[in-house]
Chains A and B, each alone.
Chain A
Amino acid sequence: MIEKALIGTRRYWKWIMLLLVVGIIGFIFYLQQLREGLGITGMSRDVSWGLYIANFTFLVGVAASAVIVIIPYYLHNHKEFGRITILGEFLAVSAVIMSILFIFVDLGQPARVFNIILYPSPTSLLFWDMVVLTIYLMLNLLAGWYTLDAEHKKEPVPSWVKPLIILSIPWAISIHTVTAFIYSGLGARPFWLTALLAPRFLASAFASGPALLILLCLTIKKVTRFDPGKDAIQKVSQIVTYAMCINVFFLLVELFTAFYGGIPEHRAPFLYLLFGLEKSITLVPWMWVSIVLSCISLIFLIIPEIRRKENLLTTACIMVFISIWLEKGLGLVIPGFVPSPLNQIFEYRPTLPEVLITLGIYAVGFLVLTILFKVTTTVKEEASN
C-alpha cells in the first residue's frame, strides 16, 4: 500500500521536496548543536527549557485530539466521521513523532537516550511520558494502517484492530494528562503548580488538534479527488467551538485565582506573561496576539452562519491554531522559569539555529503526514471509483 506514496502529481513532489529541504536544513543545524552543545539555543541557566519543549507540549495535544474523531464514530456510530477517522489517527502518528523528536533534540546527551529504558524510573513523569507516547504511536499507526489496508483489499477490518482503537481513547487522554503532570507536580514552579493544568491541556488540545484536522481536510478536498465530507467537517468544527470556549474559560479561571488570590509568587509569572516584569516584555506582544486571536476565533466559531462558510471556518481554524500554539507553547513553558527561583528575570529569545531545527522537525512530521495522507486519499479515491 505504501507504494501509493510514490506516484503523485508534480505539485505533490514539489511539496515533498520542500519538506525535505527544510528538514535537511534543520538537520544541518542539529549537527551544529551536537558539536557545540545546546548553548547555540536561546536557553539559559534560568530559562532551561524553551522552544523545543514548548512544541513538544503543544504537539502531544494535537496527537491526543485524534479521539475527537474516534469517539463519535466508534462509540456513537456517527457515520459521517467514518471518512476522516484514519486521517485523525495518522495526524496523531505524525504529531507523536514530532513530539518525540522535540524531546530528543532537547537532550544534552542524546547518545545516552536509552538510559531511560536501562534505568527505568517510575517516579519520573518523563519516564511515563516516554512509555505512553510510544504505545500511543503504535496504537494509532496499527489502527490507521490496518483499517485502511482492509478498505484497500475490500475486506472486513481484522477483529484485533477494534480493541486497539477503543484502547486508544483512554490512552489519548493519558498522554496529555501525563504531559501536564510533568509540569503540574513541580512545587518549584508556581506557574505550573495547578490542578487545572491537565484539564486545560485537554481543552486546548481538543480545540487546536481538530482545528488542524479541519484545515488538512479542506486541503485534501482541494488537492485530491477525495472529499472528507462537509458533514464531518461541520461536526468537527462544533467540537472545536466547544473546546475553545472551555479553553478560554479555564484560562480565565486561572487568571482569577492568580490575580484575586494575589499570592506574589503565583501572580508574578502571569504579570510577566501579560504585562511584563521590570521592563522585560518579550512575551507580552505574543500573548496579546494570542488573546485577540482567541476572541475573534470564538466569534467566528460561535455564530453558525460564519462557521458554516468554509473559507471563514478556515480563517477561524488558523486563528485557533496560532492562538493555542502561542498560549500553550512559549506562553506555558517560559513563564514557569520567570522569575527564576532566585527572583531574577532572565529573558528567553530563541536563536536562529533553534528556530531552524524546530522547523526541520515540523518538516519531518509533515513529511510523514503527507505520505500517510497520500496513501489514505489514494486508497479512498480508488474505493469510491
Chain B
Amino acid sequence: MNRREFLKVAGLSLAGLTGWQTFNLLSGGAFAKSLPGVQNSVQKQWGMVVNMEACSRKAGCNDCIDACHRIHNVPDLNSPKDEVKWIWTASYDKVFAEQDHAFSNKGLKNRQIIVLCNHCENPPCVKVCPTKATWKREDGIVMMDYHRCIGCRYCMAACPYGARSFNWKNPRPFIKEINQDFPTRTTGVVEKCNFCEERLAKNLLPACVEACEEKALTFGDLNAADSELRRILNTKFSIQRKPHLGTQPKVYYTV
C-alpha cells in the first residue's frame, strides 16, 4: 500500500465513522420524539401487544386488515388456495388450541383473534432460507427481499404460525387500487407482514395499529422500560402463540 492508497482508505474510514454517528443522531433523535419510550442508547426491539378483549368489541371489524392490505398492495384473490394475507383473524380455539378446552368460555372459544407475523427472536424461516432472502434486522423485524426470493417455500414449511403467503399467480390484477408508495410483488415469491418498516422509517406507527379505533393494538420498543408496550406486559397477563417452540414471538396477547 502506498501513501496515496493509505490516505484514501483512512479518509473513507473517518468519513464513514462520522457519517454513521451523524445518521444515528439524526434518525435516533427523530424516532425518540414521536414513538413513546424510545431511547437512543439501546438497540430498539419492536414488539406488539394485542388486547383480545378490546379487539372483539366491534363485531366483524376488519379495519386493521383492510388498512394493512390496502397500503401494502396485498391482492384479494378470494380463494383459500391461492390467498395472500399479512394480517387476518382466526378463532381462539384455533390460534391458541393448546389453551382451549372442552369447558372454556364460549365467547372466548369463538372469538376472532388477530394473527400476523410474530417477528420471532429466533425466526425459523430465516434459518432455513437458502438465499438469505429473509433475514432479521437489528431492530428485530423479520424482512423479505422479494427480488432475491427464489420461491422454494422452505420458509413457509418452517413457520409455525402460517404467517407466510406465496404468490401462486400474478397478484397485480387482484389489487383493487395500487399504492404507488409500496412495491407490488411478482408471481412466485413469498411475502408476509413487515411490521410496517417503511412507515417506522417515517416515524409512523404500523398501519394496523393506527387503523384500530378500539386501540386494541399497542406497538413499541420492547427494550424501552418506560414504553406503553412494556407497561401493559408488566401489568397484565399476556400469552404468546406456541411459546414452547422456542421462537420467542414478539407479538403478545392479553386476554
Complex alpha-carbon distance, A344 and B162, angstroms: 10
Q: How far is the CB of A153 from chain B (nearest CB, A)?
A: 42
> Are A107 and B245 closer than 8 Å at their CB atoms?
no
Chain B residues with Cβ below 8 Å from A187 are: 124, 160, 245-247
Residue B34 at the chain A interface, CB threshold 8 Å: no
**Interface 0/1 of B37-68, CB less than 8 Å to A:** 00000000000000000000000000000000
Q: A49 vs B98: C-alpha distance in the bound complex, in angstroms?
A: 26
B81 neighbours in A (Cβ, 8 Å): 39, 44-45, 346
Q: How many residues does chain A have at the interface if contact means C-beta atoms less than 8 Å apart?
A: 44
B116 CB within 8 Å of chain A: no
Assess the B82–A344 pair: CB atoms within 8 A: no
- Chain A residues closer than 8 Å to B128, beta-carbon distance: 123-126, 186
Listed residue (A103, A110, A265, A343) with the most chain B CB atoms within 10 angstroms of its CB: A343
In the complex, which range does the number of interface residues on chain B fall in? 35 or more
Residue of B nearest to A103 (CB): B152
**B168–A186 contact, CB under 8 A?**
no
Does B80 sit at the interface, judged by CB under 8 A? yes
Q: Is A112 an interface residue (CB 8 A)?
A: yes
Indicate whether A108 sits within 8 Å of B160 (C-beta atoms), given known contacts A121-B132, A126-B128, A343-B94: no
Within 8 A of B (CB), among A15-57: 36-39, 43-46, 48-49
Do the beta carbons of A38 and B130 come within 8 Å of each other? no
Q: Within 8 Å CB of A109, what residues of B?
A: 149-151, 186, 188-189
Interface class of chain B by DSSP = loop
- In angstroms, Cα B26 to Cα A370, docked, is 67
Whether B80 contacts A115 by the Cβ 8 Å rule is no
Interface residues of B in 199-251 (CB under 8 A from A): 245-247
The interface of chain B, by Cβ under 8 A from chain A, is 80-84, 90, 93-95, 97-98, 115, 124, 126-133, 148-154, 156-162, 165-170, 186-190, 245-247
Listed in ascending order, the chain A residues whose CB lies under 8 Å from chain B are: 36-39, 43-46, 48-49, 103, 106-110, 112-113, 115-116, 118-119, 121, 123-127, 130, 182, 186-189, 264-265, 336-337, 340-344, 346
21 example contacts (A-B, Cβ-Cβ < 8 A) are as follows A37-B168, A37-B169, A44-B168, A45-B165, A45-B168, A48-B156, A49-B157, A108-B153, A119-B131, A121-B129, A123-B126, A124-B129, A187-B160, A188-B159, A188-B160, A188-B161, A189-B157, A342-B90, A342-B95, A343-B94, A343-B97
Known: A127-B130, A186-B157. 9 other contacts (CB 8 A): A37-B167, A39-B169, A46-B162, A106-B153, A108-B149, A112-B149, A130-B130, A340-B162, A346-B80
